[in-house]
């Protein structure tokens, strides 16, 4: 997999996030408290947001909502963890209008969505916020619809300082992180910056501008991919073996249903 200096594709981002998830498998001496989603997750969020208004009861019966619940319950991807077992969810978001990538971190303990962006400007800020508000609205409804296990995370909704004064219909707060490393003028490596932010956060590190080398991830990820592939060959396993079982769903598709890929 190459890392050229142009706008990254969904498949490149998905591969990097996949191997970030696998760290807990290959590094048992560390405890990781995060999970990730793939790029299609935000496509489904947009689809659900476009179809349903945020107060429409039909959100509970929509087909696309069932796909989101698969993510939440850990039945969607390889090496994914159910959301109630981790602290944070890392969500890659492609701002398609600007061919740009940002990282959203859904934090349950802080009851917020933290935004990590390698480009700052007033006009840009408002475009990104519009996308993140879609995420905040739909995620809240899906957590309610699937009876998310806050208690299993040690969160008492009545007493937790970030939850006790909130109504059940209040969206997660949206917070933009400041003083982040910014991409050089003319560079299109938005995806590289987003993946590097994610890797720093996954280790529990702060993102420091004066220590940020955007060229280092190129070499590191090539080495990581080679090392993981070697381990899989030695164990004679394939990624499909690691796929989680999904809950059975009754199909809503009939002979007159028009189907679109999301």
At 72-124, the pLDDT tens digits run 988 776 667 889 889 999 999 998 877 789 999 999 999 999 999 988 776 78
Q: Can you read off the two tokens belonging to residue 225?
A: 């991919």
Q: How confident is the model at residue 185 (pLDDT cuts 50, 70, 90)?
A: low
Q: How many CB atoms lie within 10 A of CB 51?
A: 14
Asked if residue 67 is part of any domain, the answer here is: yes
Asked if residue 158 is part of any domain, the answer here is: yes
Asked if residue 261 is part of any domain, the answer here is: no
Q: Give the mean pLDDT of the chain.
A: 77
Asked if residue 243 is part of any domain, the answer here is: no
User: What residues pair up with 36 in beta bridges, in sequence order?
Assistant: 90
List Cα–Cα distances, 185 to 25, 94, 119, 125, 127, in angstroms. Answer: 38, 19, 10, 17, 20
d(CA 189, CA 119) in angstroms, rounded, equals 11
Number of domains in the chain: 1
Answer yes or no: is pLDDT of 61 > 90: no
pLDDT at 43: 92
CATH of the domain at 82: 3.40.395.10
Q: Can you read off the two tokens belonging to residue 220?
A: 């590191």
pTM, whole model, 2 decimals?
Answer: 0.79
Q: What is the mean pLDDT of residues 41-60?
A: 74
Q: Can you read off the two tokens belonging to residue 159?
A: 């007493």
Bigger pLDDT: 144 or 261?
A: 144
CB 72, CB 143: distance < 8 Å: yes
Answer yes or no: is pLDDT of 217 > 80: no
Asked if residue 245 is part of any domain, the answer here is: no
143-152 tens-digit pLDDT: 888 888 888 8
Burial 114-139 (b: 16+ CB within 10 A, else e): bbbbbbeeeebeeebeebbebbbbbb
Asked if residue 134 is part of any domain, the answer here is: yes
188-212 tens-digit pLDDT: 677 888 888 898 898 888 877 666 6
Answer yes or no: is pLDDT of 57 > 80: no
Asked if residue 65 is part of any domain, the answer here is: yes
Asked if residue 5 is part of any domain, the answer here is: no
Contacts of 32 (CB under 8 A, 6+ apart): 23, 24, 86, 202
Full residue range of the structural domain in which residue 206 is found: 10-235
């Amino acid at each position: 997999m190459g890392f050229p200096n142009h706008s990254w594709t969904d498949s490149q981002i998905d591969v990097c996030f996949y191997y970030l998830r696998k760290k807990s498998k290959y590094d048992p001496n560390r405890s990781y408290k995060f999970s990730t989603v793939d790029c299609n997750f935000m496509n489904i969020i947009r689809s659900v947001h476009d179809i349903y208004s945020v107060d429409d009861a039909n959100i509970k019966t929509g087909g696309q909502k069932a796909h989101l619940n698969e993510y939440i319950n850990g039945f969607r991807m390889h090496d994914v963890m159910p959301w109630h077992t981790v602290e944070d969810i890392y969500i890659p978001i492609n701002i398609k209008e600007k061919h740009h990538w940002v990282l959203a971190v859904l934090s349950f303990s802080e009851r917020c969505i933290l935004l990590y962006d390698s480009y700052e400007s007033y006009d840009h800020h408002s475009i990104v916020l519009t996308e993140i508000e879609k995420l905040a609205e739909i995620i809240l409804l899906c957590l309610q619809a699937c009876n998310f296990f806050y208690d299993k995370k040690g969160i008492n909704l009545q007493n937790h300082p970030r939850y006790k004064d909130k109504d059940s219909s209040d969206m997660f707060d949206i917070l933009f992180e400041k003083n982040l490393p910014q991409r050089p003028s003319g560079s299109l490596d938005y995806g590289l910056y987003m993946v590097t932010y994610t890797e720093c956060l996954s280790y529990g590190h702060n993102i420091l501008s004066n220590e940020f080398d955007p060229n280092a991830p190129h070499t590191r990820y090539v080495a990581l991919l080679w090392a993981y592939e070697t381990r899989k060959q030695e164990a004679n396993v394939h990624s499909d073996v690691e796929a989680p079982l999904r809950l059975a769903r009754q199909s809503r598709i009939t002979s007159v249903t028009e189907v679109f890929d999301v």
